Structure 1
Amino acid sequence: MLILPGETIYSYLIRHCLSDGYPTISSSLANYFDCTSKQWSAQFPSFIPRISELSGVPTIQLINNHTVFPAYRHFMPLNLIKQTERLLTFGGDMNLESKMSLTANRIKREGVLKFCPLCVQQDEMKFGWIYWHVEHQLPGVLACTHHGCSLMSVLTNRKKLLLPPTINTTFIDAEFKALKISQLSEDLFKLKIPAWSFETLKDIYKRRLLERELATQNHTVRIRLKRWRTDLRAYWKPIGNAAQVKTILAQSNSWQFPANAIYGRDKVLHPLKHLLIIGHLFDTLEDFLSFSQSFDFDDTCKPNTEAMRKGQLQVEVEEKPDAQIIELLEKGSSIRSIAAECKVSHGYVKKLAQVNQIDFDRRTQFIDDLVRRTIWRKLFTGESTESIAQKVGVSKGAVEQVLSCNPELVLLRKKIRYFKARQTHRQNIMESIQKYNTRKDIRCESSASYAWLYKNDHEWLYDSLPEAVPRKKRFLGS
């Protein structure tokens, strides 16, 4: 069976199963993959090589034309793009959403499949099949750009063979902003240029914000973040109730967007976050590309070491009294007193001192090499950070800082905790075995230990438990 233009891999599998006469997903999975645990509707499926065999389409063509990956790759570093493409090409257990920082972005998948009711009618007339379009599943797509209508959605179901419905569908004209974000996402998906680096994107955004008077520039660019946030929220308000947009434009005190697109280093942000910024600052993706090509970013993306030495390369979220802070630091004032007087955080004062290479008095919390070595030895033996902090006389945060600088200790301590937990749970089960003769009673007595061992030490658990009651006797009270 041929894969249709712009069809998702999930849709192709559904049609393949229906044409072969399989009634359920499990039966078809067992036939095609010798496994019933594959998640067909995944954004980044782990079975692309098998689909290539069924369809005769090369894997790279499937990835580029029939998955949503091309819409993500433009905002990823090159090494991550290559790693992701390699994993998709060869399949396997990938946990790609975590590797691509989608989990860290805290934007949940909507759990729905979207379709255009007019596209459904056209597909049935043209191909004799209805199918799921990959362009309708792209990040941020809320409308069909071909027909100008809002997309409808169906909840994904892991146990049913789902294709877009042909009844009870309605045509609703899409809101302009919904069409705009959808068009941006589709244009991004079709774009055939290399990925942008995070530094390049930051420079483009800063230049545009300066033109829009949402930033000021003297020795450095200062973003008028509060004003930008307000304008951004107001601009996308017509689609503010869309689940993912609502999450990104949250108005809580800990709201990091759009600051996290400007500050920080080498962040991998969800494509929808970039699209909301690009859509706010530019009319189309073509305008964005024209603007970005009008500058040479090769030099602007490199750190200005001379400016860093002079303390001029400072990019703040809000206007802050840098000159006053530097003057107080040079006079020898403490970090705590400067932070209180200038109404900034201790960390900000420390950062300013370090960038300007100004020595400052550290509190006794600063740990020397001898204390650091003592902490390392105690961490190596698996002692808890709370206990180490009390014995050494430092804060728990200082101990955790030492731990974070030694990643090999993190893995070692995980193993130590595992073996300690295993020993404790085994002991609990052995004590229960001395009291009871059936697995049911032992499980009720030590349910937590039983569950832990069942998950992590299955062989030992079943070797140690009494023989299971024969199935035919379980309901006879024997």
Structure 2
Amino acid sequence: MFPSPYPDELFYSLMARFHFWSRGKSCSNTIGELLGNQRLSAIVDFPCGLGALSARLTKSPLLQADAFIQNNTLIPFYQPFLSSKTVSAAIDKMKVGGNQGGGVHSLFGYSGSNLNLFPSHLRYCRECVEQDLMNYGETYWHRIHQINLLEECPQHHRPLELSSVPFRDRQHKYQFVDLNDLVHSLGMEHAPCDITAKRLWNTKLLSSNIQFLLEHHIPPIGLEGLRKRYVTLLQAAGYTTLTGKVNISLLSQDFITSFGQEFLSSLNCLPSPQNENNWLNLFARRLDSTINPMRHLLMMNFLNISASDFIADISNRHPFGNGPWPCLNVAADHFRKDVVHTVNIKTHPKEKDTLIGTFACECGFVYTRYGPEQNNPDHERYTYHYVKQYGEVWENKLKHMLEIEKKSQREVAKRFRVSWITVKKYSAHLAVNKRSFQGALKNTNYLKQMEYRNQWTNVQQEHPQKGKTELSQLYPRPFCWLKKYDKEWLNKNSPSLIKAKRYKPAPIDWKGRDEALLPMCQHAIQQLLSLDKPVRITMNSIGETIKVVYMLTRYRLKLPKTMSFIHPLLESHEDFQIRRIRIAAMALRERGEHLIAWKLRGAAHIDKVAVTDRVNKEIERMIKDYINSRGSLK
């Protein structure tokens, strides 16, 4: 009878326990009995043949193929960050066996990755082993312990230890090893915890995020959904502009400081601030390829967001909270009510990580607020940094309180929550203060008025090229007096404003650029083809060689000659594999070795699972030509 899975147990562990209790002759026989094909490998993370197994078992919900995939494999750790099409294809591969199954890593795009996706050997926690033996009478391989990002058990906070069982065992690929067989050799003394403080950046958040992904079976978010979420988070953290351009240098420095260079290097996730293809930059670009979940979790940990909050659609969050927004006009009946439906957002001219939002209400009250909201959104929503316009409702209320209610300016200032100087300034523009202005003007010495007017007129004649601001700096006394007591005359008798000429960049000569780029690209392709280590001919690799990736990827339509030369030479994955196979064949023949399919694939560093029919045909053709050439020599 097939055992019921324990909480967070690997399917690999289930097969190992069944093989032990069934007293099977060999693991191959057990695989053939359960999965219908003895040649299926014992894969830890993405096993195959689950459909055949569920057909042989009872109809228990926990023993169905979909339940095995979601509860006992590492698919839930990957699927939120992949497309729906990719996840469906992977699940189909895991349900079938034989030649149609397998290749999930290649499907995810991780087969050629240099990232340390999994530990070298299966891992365990000593306290979990003790607890399992106490609760179930046996222990098992825990799924979460095999996530390479974790260094300690999330439950007991003890360091995870490597067993003697390889995660990828190519010599014994049909063998399932039961953890119970290793228990007696482990010893139950606790090893001292050697995790340094340097590695304890925020392991609690990381552990909880990994547990959330494994337990909640999150469906695929989609590549565009992921990009929108990261753009929102990076903007809130001050690492991007409003257009989504990433300050990659600052982001890389803070990222390395947060995790430590040693830890990131151990995972092959160390970003390069000087490289424009820095992998951190991918999070804000339009994603056309998958990013490893390890990097997703590191980025979430860096941005201090939980997986549950990240899965929620945060991309619709507004930097100033979702609208409508409140009107903060104290004089209006709708004070603090959400009646403002639009906001104008721009970047602060000096602080690029700060946004300025301008809120305009129908009552005429216009205020600005700095964002994005971070510390206390509920409080920040009802505050402003600057009032650009108080509006007619506010001014009418001010006039009513001063003239009808006979309130003092200081009382009005307290009621309106502004300074006394603001009330005095705005009352000067209203009828209530015109009489006091005229009285002040009558009381002013008429001779002083004429003296300052003459001085201001003479100043303009002496300096005809200077503007109003420059003249006010040369002769501040007459300017300040006239501005205060005779402003209308000053405005009429001052130099008119001279608008600064805006810089207009010269139009780009795209035809000239196209002709200049063509020989550069020709030389770059020749250089790439002559490298000892083959590099795939792509638009990015050509652009990286001559440092024009942005131009080749964003302005293709404006470079017709260059594109007409490059496009026929671009290599697909199959083309690149075929070129590597040919190079490998030449190398083998120079060394006097026979051409064999597995030797060609090994010399070209191509996994057998990733080889397509077209590449296989090319390999067969080369071997056939080699055999014919040897026959002709004889």
Question: 1:148–1:179: 8 Å Cα contact kept in structure 2?
Answer: no
1:131 aligns with 2:152: no
1:183 aligns with 2:199: no
1:280 aligns with 2:322: no
Provide the residue aligned with 2:90 in structure 1: 84
Provide the residue aligned with 1:232 in structure 2: 255
Task: Quote the offset at 1:76 in angstroms.
Answer: 1.0
Question: 1:204–1:292: 8 Å Cα contact kept in structure 2?
Answer: yes
Q: Return the structure number with greater relative CO, CA threshold 8 A, min gap 6.
A: 1
Question: 2:52–2:95: 8 Å Cα contact kept in structure 1?
Answer: no
Amino acid aligned to 1:148: H
Deviations 1:323-364 (A, max 9, x none): x99845248543576999xx983443344544xx6x45746x
Between the two proteins, what is the percent identity of the paired residues? 16
Provide the residue aligned with 2:513 in structure 1: 334
**Alpha-carbon distance in 1 for matches of 2:505, 2:554:** 7
Provide the residue aligned with 1:404 in structure 2: none
Task: Quote the offset at 1:130 in angstroms.
Answer: 0.6
1:163 aligns with 2:188: no
Provide the residue aligned with 1:7 in structure 2: 9
Task: Quote the offset at 1:32 in angstroms.
Answer: 4.8
Provide the residue aligned with 2:244 in structure 1: 221
Change in Cα spacing, 1:348 to 1:121, as seen in structure 2 (3 Å) is same
Change in Cα spacing, 1:429 to 1:162, as seen in structure 2 (3 Å) is farther
Deviations 1:57-95 (A, max 9, x none): 111111111111011111111111222222222334331
Deviations 1:264-295 (A, max 9, x none): 53311211111111111124223334571653
**Alpha-carbon distance in 1 for matches of 2:566, 2:515:** 21
Question: 1:48–1:88: 8 Å Cα contact kept in structure 2?
Answer: yes
Provide the residue aligned with 2:551 in structure 1: 349
Amino acid aligned to 1:198: L
Say which is worse superposed, 121-130 or 193-202, in terms of deviation. 193-202
TM-score, normalized by length of structure 1? 0.64
Provide the residue aligned with 1:258 in structure 2: 280
**Alpha-carbon distance in 2 for matches of 1:80, 1:132:** 27
**Alpha-carbon distance in 2 for matches of 1:248, 1:333:** 40
- Which secondary structure state, in structure 2, belongs to the residue aligned with residue 153 of structure 1? strand
Provide the residue aligned with 1:71 in structure 2: 77
Provide the residue aligned with 1:248 in structure 2: 269
Deviations 1:441-467 (A, max 9, x none): xxxxxxxxxxxxxxxxxxxxxxxxxxx
**Alpha-carbon distance in 2 for matches of 1:200, 1:383:** 36
Question: 1:338–1:349: 8 Å Cα contact kept in structure 2?
Answer: no
Change in Cα spacing, 1:242 to 1:162, as seen in structure 2 (3 Å) is farther
Provide the residue aligned with 2:159 in structure 1: 150
Provide the residue aligned with 2:193 in structure 1: 172
Match of 1:107 among 108, 115, 126: 115
- Which secondary structure state, in structure 1, belongs to the residue aligned with residue 81 of structure 2? coil
Question: 2:35–2:97: 8 Å Cα contact kept in structure 1?
Answer: no
**Alpha-carbon distance in 1 for matches of 2:504, 2:24:** 71
Task: Quote the offset at 1:100 in angstroms.
Answer: 1.4
Any unmatched runs of 5+ in structure 2?
319-502, 521-543, 569-574, 583-611
Change in Cα spacing, 1:232 to 1:148, as seen in structure 2 (3 Å) is same
- Which secondary structure state, in structure 1, belongs to the residue aligned with residue 508 of structure 2? helix
**Alpha-carbon distance in 1 for matches of 2:52, 2:21:** 18
Provide the residue aligned with 2:41 in structure 1: 39
- Which secondary structure state, in structure 1, belongs to the residue aligned with residue 291 of structure 2? coil
Question: 1:68–1:189: 8 Å Cα contact kept in structure 2?
Answer: yes
**Alpha-carbon distance in 2 for matches of 1:194, 1:25:** 34
Question: 2:124–2:142: 8 Å Cα contact kept in structure 1?
Answer: yes
Change in Cα spacing, 1:412 to 1:61, as seen in structure 2 (3 Å) is closer
Any unmatched runs of 5+ in structure 1?
297-323, 373-378, 387-409, 433-478
**Alpha-carbon distance in 2 for matches of 1:51, 1:383:** 41
Say which is worse superposed, 74-83 or 143-152, in terms of deviation. 143-152
TM-score, normalized by length of structure 2? 0.50
Change in Cα spacing, 1:176 to 1:70, as seen in structure 2 (3 Å) is same
Change in Cα spacing, 1:46 to 1:242, as seen in structure 2 (3 Å) is farther
**Alpha-carbon distance in 1 for matches of 2:550, 2:256:** 27
Question: 1:29–1:35: 8 Å Cα contact kept in structure 2?
Answer: yes
Question: 1:149–1:173: 8 Å Cα contact kept in structure 2?
Answer: no
- Which secondary structure state, in structure 2, belongs to the residue aligned with residue 123 of structure 1? helix
Provide the residue aligned with 1:25 in structure 2: 27
Question: 2:119–2:147: 8 Å Cα contact kept in structure 1?
Answer: no
**Alpha-carbon distance in 1 for matches of 2:560, 2:30:** 69
Aligned residues: 362
Change in Cα spacing, 1:277 to 1:383, as seen in structure 2 (3 Å) is closer
Amino acid aligned to 1:260: L
Question: 2:15–2:176: 8 Å Cα contact kept in structure 1?
Answer: no
Provide the residue aligned with 2:65 in structure 1: 59
- Which secondary structure state, in structure 1, belongs to the residue aligned with residue 623 of structure 2? helix
- Which secondary structure state, in structure 1, belongs to the residue aligned with residue 282 of structure 2? helix
Task: Quote the offset at 1:235 in angstroms.
Answer: 1.3
- Which secondary structure state, in structure 2, belongs to the residue aligned with residue 15 of structure 1? helix
Task: Quote the offset at 1:39 in angstroms.
Answer: 2.3
Task: Quote the offset at 1:5 in angstroms.
Answer: 2.1
**Alpha-carbon distance in 2 for matches of 1:210, 1:285:** 18
**Alpha-carbon distance in 1 for matches of 2:34, 2:617:** 38
Give the number of the structure whose alpha-carbon radius of gyration is greater: 2
Task: Quote the offset at 1:204 in angstroms.
Answer: 1.5
- Which secondary structure state, in structure 2, belongs to the residue aligned with residue 349 of structure 1? helix
Match of 1:271 among 287, 293, 296: 293
